[in-house]
Chain A
Amino acid sequence: MSFIDKCKTRGFAALIIATLLFLLYTQSFAGMLGFLIIFGIPYFAMNDLPAYASTQDKIGKYIFLAVCTCIFIFLILPILIIIPLSFNAEPYFSFTEGMMALDPSAYSTRWYQDIWRFGMTAPDGDEGWWTDMWNNATWIRAMRNSFFLAIVSTLLATGFGTLAALGLSRPEMPFRSAITSLLISPMIVPLVITATGMFFFYGGTMQGIIPGYEKGLANTYLGLTLAHATLGVPFVIITVTATLSGFDRSLIRASEGLGANGWTTFTKVIMPLITPGMISGALFAFITSLDEVVAVIFLADVDQRTIPRQMFSGLREQISPTILAVATILVVMSIILLTTVELLRRRSERLRGLSPG
């Protein structure tokens, strides 16, 4: 049934009447919009039920769709709500009267400016403004730390992880189950326990073992990188083995049968097929590191504060909408990452002939 046809039915008339009654009762257009979303979406999502469906079935289906709509709203609303909130002109975490009335003066970008202004020695000075911002702005420094850590630990985790996944997905792999459980465990073991162990081990036991790190690895970038690489490993393993699970092993034999050596087979046959999985795994590891805060709390000094660490102390000490501005940037980034991963997954499925794409 097309959209137009749907609008001509009795059900649609009932929906409109109910919405108007709701508007009369609450006298609010925002409320009416909410009502229309919750009850209208399921109405339009109702597809033709089989002929044997009773009225009871239809009502059941409608309620089911309404419940699902509410759940999707529950999932997505908190994430979307922070975007308008971050443009609040007042230092609050809630909508002001002016914002509700769509008054332009109630909105501002001051919290976005705060991202690079907060912590600068002379935010309005001209002399050396860029160096001042680069070196002193609290959030800019946190971003630098976060991205540095995320990139290095992702490279480590992806390198080791892909290699291990290649081994794990071979049919002749011994102790597969035991080794897989071990490699996945950084995701399972509570972060507090991992971080506690690392806090003792990196800070105490590692003292004097690595040249240049006589005081141990606590409060160093090296320690944090190791920690984040460890936490990223399970995600790489899971995604790359998933890619390899549909891998046609006869391709390898075909390549060998045609005279290719191991290296050529790897670069020309295996690599192109697993690259999408590898990149998704790397993106997972990247976002894990970018989002990780427990290990940073335990292992990092003020100098190594990352974005989530800064948000954590911000939420605990002085809640300011700057956090929401940063959060909005992070949401935009996760949308980009998610899109990339989805596209890669489809490409990989197409390459392996699993779905029409």
Chain B
Amino acid sequence: MSKSEAPLLAADGMPLKEKLARTTRRMKMRAFLLTVPLVLFLLVSFVLPIGQMLYRSFHNPTGSNVVPNFAVAIKDWDADQGIPSDDIVKILVEDMAAARKNREVGKTIGNLATRVNYEIPGSRSLFTKTARRAGRITEGPYFDALVKIDKRWDSPHLWRTLQRVTNDYTIAFYLAATDRKFDESGSIVQADELYRIYLPILWKTIWISALITALCFIIAYPVSYLLSTLPLRTSNLLMILVLLPFWTSLLVRTSAWIAMLQKSGIINNILVYLGIIADESRIQMIYNITGTVISMVHILLPFMILPLYSVMKTIPPSYMRAARSMGASGTYAFTKVYFPQTIPGIAAGTLLVFILAIGYYITPALVGGSDGLLISNLIADHIKKTLNWSLGAALGTILLVVVLVFYWIYNKLVGVDNLKFG
């Protein structure tokens, strides 16, 4: 009995258990080290850039860059007082005069005016006008001097906004991205009807992605079934018809759909030719939602067919035959025997297509016209055109969160290691 309690020893006298643990640790380390170069590479080229974008969505130092001293002075001011004390106003006047004199890139009055303008539309001129005369104000009371330049300075709402704007950390862009804003008393309210654009577009994006996913599913299911039941040689041949679009450039496919769907395009030509529609009532199928949906279904279809096919291939045909031989009708055997077994493939395909559809940019930008625009197009517009980078970043963060939630679900249900092409 006592003999068996002594630890087993390896050849070099070390306890076997410890030696095994050490070897396992070393093997784990070695496997991990192989992935380190790529992880580091992605960290620099991918993770950090996205992290920085997230940071930018709630960190905007424009205000404190332009009027640094005022930013410090007004930080602890109680906004319910209405108008700050003349000392604070004096600092603002001095800061504005200095900013106008120095004209450093990114620290001009224009930058501040743009930033405030996001929150109080139409206030731009107030700052440019005031800054021009700020240098001439030499003695107090400073507040009265400001009001003399422009009556709009006599507004608690403006000062409250200034306090918020000069704080580097802000949720203002998330509010804007969800069609909300601060009202005059500083509480969060819905934006005016006219300005509510982002949430409707986000919902529209989700809705269109769901529609595309559903259409892809309806189209992919019979084809995948056919491919999985045909003999290998035939199905490999037909698989080429699925894989060729997959390998063809996105831009090529999008231009092909423009050629197909435009008013003088092939589909309209065929319809006119067959006498289904009259020549003068050709259907507008491109540069709107219809065009976006049709071309995106075509583009994303392989991502639905491939996972469905790989699941269906593993289902033995004898199950269906057994069900039929025991008296089940075709429909009954399909819904009770075949369909439930394809659910893993359905989950993989629908989640993948939905995730890819929700962030699509190129196709909606080219064939979407104005009503087929999706959230990605708005983000790109804010980054490239209107240059409201923080708002673009906030919208991007919201989209990213939605995508990551679905990615997480995908990972839980399907597992990323099950992704395959062909």
Contacts and interface: CB of A to CB of B under 8 A. Distances in A.
A312 B366 contact: yes
Interface stretch (B116-124, B243-251, B335-343): B243-251
B85 interface: no
B421 A79 contact: no
Contact of B243 (A50, A65, A81, A338): A338
Contact of A81 (B266, B362, B384): B266
Interface in B54-83: 56
Interface in B195-249: 219, 222-223, 226, 232, 236, 238, 240-245, 247-249
B171 interface: no
Contacts of A156: 41
B223 to A, nearest CB: 5
A242 B422 CA distance: 11
Given A94-B265, A95-B269, A179-B35, A79 B274 contact: no
B337 to A, nearest CB: 16
A67 B223 CA distance: 9
A160 B41 contact: yes
A68 B222 contact: yes
A75 B242 contact: yes
Given A193-B399, A194-B46, A293-B362, A170 B419 contact: no
Interface residues of B, number: 93
Given A78-B253, A172-B28, A334-B244, A200 B52 contact: yes
B102 interface: no
B39 interface: yes
Nearest to A192: B376
Interface string A224-264: 00110110010100110110000000000000000000000
Interface string B86-124: 000000000000000000000000000000000000000
B9 interface: no
A132 interface: no
Contact of B244 (A201, A230, A338): A338
Interface string B181-206: 00000000000000000000000000
A194 B379 CA distance: 12
Contacts of A229: 41, 45
Contacts of A196: 53, 379-380, 383, 392-393, 396
A226 B44 CA distance: 10
Interface stretch (B140-148, B152-160, B254-262): B254-262
A242 to B, nearest CB: 5
Contacts of B251: 291, 293, 307-308, 311-312, 315, 327
A194 B94 CA distance: 41
Contacts of A211: none
B32 A173 contact: yes
A182 interface: yes
Contacts of A81: 256, 259-260, 266
Interface string A57-98: 100100011011001101111110110010000001111000
A167 B242 contact: no
Interface string B380-410: 1001100001001100100110010001000
B16 interface: no
B93 to A, nearest CB: 31
Given A71-B223, A238-B419, A166 B254 contact: no
Contacts of A272: none
Contact of B222 (A67, A170, A191, A238): A67
A221 B104 CA distance: 30
Specify the main secondary structure of chain A where it touches its partner.
Answer: helix
B266 A205 contact: no
Given A28-B273, A168-B35, A177 B252 contact: no
A184 interface: yes
A76 B247 contact: no
Contacts of B358: 190
A315 B295 CA distance: 15
A174 interface: yes
B13 interface: no
Given A194-B50, A230-B46, A311-B251, A52 B24 contact: no
B259 A160 contact: no
A319 interface: yes
B48 interface: yes
Given A82-B256, A338-B244, A192 B28 contact: no
A93 B259 contact: yes
A177 B411 contact: yes
Nearest to B26: A172
Contact of A174 (B32, B254, B262): B32
Contacts of B244: 75-76, 79, 334-335, 338
Given A167-B33, A172-B24, A196-B396, A241 B359 contact: no
Contact of B366 (A183, A316, A342): A316
B407 A188 contact: yes
B257 to A, nearest CB: 6
A351 B45 CA distance: 36
B53 A185 contact: no
Contact of B361 (A68, A191, A199): A191
B417 interface: yes
A192 B248 contact: no
A74 B415 CA distance: 31
B370 interface: no
B31 A172 contact: yes
A180 B417 contact: yes
Interface string B343-372: 000000000000100111110011000000
Contacts of A133: none
B416 A184 contact: yes
B41 A74 contact: no
A26 interface: yes
Given A64-B222, A193-B399, A238-B420, A94 B262 contact: yes
Contacts of A179: 35, 39
A330 B403 CA distance: 31
B11 interface: no
B252 A163 contact: no
22 contacts: A68-B226, A78-B256, A81-B256, A82-B256, A82-B259, A94-B266, A160-B38, A164-B35, A168-B31, A170-B34, A173-B28, A177-B416, A191-B376, A193-B396, A194-B49, A197-B51, A226-B45, A291-B250, A294-B362, A298-B383, A335-B247, A342-B243
- Those 4 A-B pairs whose CB atoms lie nearest each other, nearest first: A190-B359, A167-B34, A197-B49, A201-B49
Interface of B: 24, 27-28, 30-35, 37-39, 41-42, 45-53, 56, 219, 222-223, 226, 232, 236, 238, 240-245, 247-260, 262, 264-266, 269, 273-275, 298, 301, 321, 324, 330, 355, 358-362, 365-366, 376, 379-380, 383-384, 389, 392-393, 396, 399-400, 403, 407, 411, 415-417, 419-422
Given A170-B27, A194-B49, 5 more contacts: A78-B298, A161-B38, A167-B32, A193-B53, A233-B41
